[in-house]
Structure 1
Amino acid sequence: MLLVFVLILIVVGLASGMLGSLVGIGGGMVIVPSLLYLGLFSISPLFSEVTPQVAVGTSLLVILVIGLSSTFAYLKQKTVDYKSGWMLFIGSGPGAIVGAWLNRFLSSEQFSLYFGIFIICIAILMMVRNYLKPVVIRKTFLYTAIGDNGDEVTYGYNVPVMLVISFSIGILAGLFGIGGGVLMVPVMILLFNFPTRIAVATSMLVIFLSAITGSITHMVLGNINWTYAGCLVVGAWFGAKIGAYLNNKLKAEYVLAIFRFVLLFVGIGLTIN
């Protein structure tokens, strides 16, 4: 039974790493619900019941590994925008600390309800994302790159707007144990006209940096189960590399189509739990 439990956690880590790296979302949308569910089966002191705080803290630690692994892979593909990534982190890093601190005030019932509603909203956003038109915002920094269709495109950002948005996303990342990329990537594409591949790769850099601040905060608060984290990390490291490789080979929309409906199912389950 113990071996089966460990293998399940490794598979969850593999799936979260692969999916997170493939579409730039970090993987917390898979890890947190899985930990909350698997934590119900307290089979040993090492694999005890999981509170929302422990689920979030452990998730952020695993997301740190996913972000590091996938960032290395994307650096080799030369699709990471360092300057934009660091600018986003200036907002999301402190936001992740605030979110981690706020998480301590949520009960299990409150966390499940709020996280479920959040997941449902994200699923809906992912469904309509392709139908939303980019918003025109005056940009203070402009860059050029090869777009998704092979043409040269211009993208950029307005610093105050980017800092406010990234800080807000950082709070949600620290609060719910997600990487934040599930919001970061659409924002980068719709508001700042980032090419999709650059948005995904840069998002993973930001996720890695923000997960450092968020996981350290949860570590200080004692919200990390190291046994769960160790099993998840084994799968997540290799999953992230596979996801980054597939990002260059597959259309992420096929994966997202399945993921959207899974999110809806999980979100509804958490809200009525």
Structure 2
Amino acid sequence: MEFALLFIIALSAGLIGALVGLGGGVILVPATLFIGISLGFIPDITPQTVVGLSVIMMIFTGLASTLSYMKSRTVDYKTGFIFFAGSVPGTMVGAWINKGLDLPSFNLYFGILLIILATILLIRDKLKPVKWFVEHGMKRTYIDNEGKEYVYGYPIWFAFLLTFVVGCMSGLFGIGGGSMIVPAMLILFLFPPHVAVATSMFLVFLTSIVNSASHIYLGNVPWLYTLPVIPGAYLGAKIGAALNKKLKSETLVFALRIILLLLGIRSILDGLF
């Protein structure tokens, strides 16, 4: 039973993650904790092992998405590697902090993070783009299929600082960081939306490799439960990446805001009571 539930959760996490540029951990982590501990289907799951499971999943979510986006040539590889360089030390710091968290503390802090992420998604479309970062940073250009040219960019020092923080949250909570980096890419760095999503998933793939190495070293990966999660996430990410090219994701992003708010509130209540 738990294998079937984990497969469905991973499929959903991969699909939603690839469609809107998230790693999928924001879906997998709270859902797995709920079915595992609250419903009792996986009694041996802990905050550490669910994070370990999530970072392994995100390798395959990121890989499947990146392979799909490579075909449409929307991945900014140079930016991906620059962001990756800033994320690496952050993921290690986050993984180290994670080993000291008990379940109530994890639920409380993770719930706060989910509410912050939901708020970012809620106000993302209402915020005016900030041109200062492009004007004072390394500029990039992109021409879409309709011939429209986009100019975007960022100061490298700020990109390193931002991705260090994102990497730390990724290592600590087992999330891909796309929910934090994509709004920054759109609002601060003026990325074209499809390039932001594709590059975010490339970054998720790279950082998850380092992140998983840290959690494997710490003994946090429940290898048995990766059996349903890996194929589910890979399949879901392939579907999500394909849908991203055809559909507008506003409806899904709206639903994701509500889901994150509800999960965040529930997680905080679990941590407090």
| TM-score, structure 1 as length reference | 0.94
Amino acid corresponding to residue 56 of structure 2 in structure 1: L
Q: 2:52 corresponds to which letter in structure 1?
A: G
Cα distance in 2, alignment partners of residues 17 and 157 from structure 1: 28
* TM-score relative to the length of structure 2: 0.94
CA distance in 2, matches of 1:269, 1:172: 19
Counterpart contact for 1:6–1:231, Cα < 8 Å: yes
Q: Which residue of 1 aligns with 2:105?
A: 110
Structure 1: 5+ residue runs without aligned partners?
Answer: none
1:86 corresponds to which residue? 81
Letter of the aligned partner of 2:89 in structure 1? P
CA displacement at 1:237 relative to structure 2: 0.5
Q: Displacement, 1:143?
A: 1.4
> Residue in 2 aligned with 1:29?
26
| RMSD (Å) for aligned C-alpha atoms | 1.4
How far is 1:140 from its partner? 3.1
User: Contact 1:148–1:196 (CA<8 Å) still a contact in 2?
Assistant: no
Q: 1:106 deviation in Å?
A: 1.1
Give the aligned residue type for 1:72.
L
Of 96, 105, 111, 1:101 maps to 96
Counterpart Cα distance in 2 of 1:124 and 1:214: 26
Structure 1 residue identity aligned to 2:123 = V
Instruction: Give the match for residue 176 of structure 1.
Output: 173
Conservation of the 8 A alpha-carbon contact between 1:173 and 1:179:
yes
**CA–CA distance in structure 1, aligned partners of residues 90 and 122 of structure 2:** 26
- Equivalent-residue separation in structure 1 for 2:236 and 2:83 (angstroms): 25
1:226 aligned residue (223, 226, 231):
223
Across the two proteins, how many residue pairs are aligned to each other?
A: 267
**CA distances 1:40-61 after superposition (whole Å, capped 9, x unpaired):** 2555xxx542111111111011
1:17-96 correspondence runs (5 A): 17-40=14-37, 47-96=42-91
Distance 1:126 1:212 in 2: 26
Gaps of 5+ in 2: none
Q: Mean Cα displacement is larger for which, 259-268 or 150-159?
A: 150-159
Equivalent residue of 2:159, what SS? helix
Tell me the secondary structure at the aligned position of residue 140 of structure 2.
strand
Partner SS state of residue 82, structure 2: helix
Q: Deviations over 1:106-139 (max 9, x none)?
A: 1110000000011011111101100011222243
Q: Which amino acid letter does the alignment assign opposite residue 262 of structure 2?
A: F
**Does 2:164 match 1:167?**
yes
Q: 1:78, 1:147 → 2: CA distance? A: 10
Q: How big is the shift at 1:77?
A: 1.0
- Shift of residue 147, structure 1, vs aligned partner: 5.5
Which aligned pairs between 1:132-211 and structure 2 lie closer than 5 A?
132-135=127-130, 136-137=132-133, 138-146=135-143, 151-211=148-208
Structure-1 residue corresponding to 2:245? 248
The structure 1 residue matched to 2:260, chosen from 236, 259, 263, is: 263
Cα distance in structure 2, aligned partners of 1:149 and 1:102: 46
Seq. identity, %:
43
Q: Which residue of structure 2 aligns with residue 16 of structure 1?
A: 13
Aligned 8 A contact 1:29 1:178 in 2 = yes
The whole-number CA distance in structure 1 between the counterparts of 2:219 and 2:209 is: 15
**How big is each residue's C-alpha offset from its partner over 1:22-54, in whole Å with a ceiling of 9 and x where there is no partner?**
0111100011112211222555xxx54211111
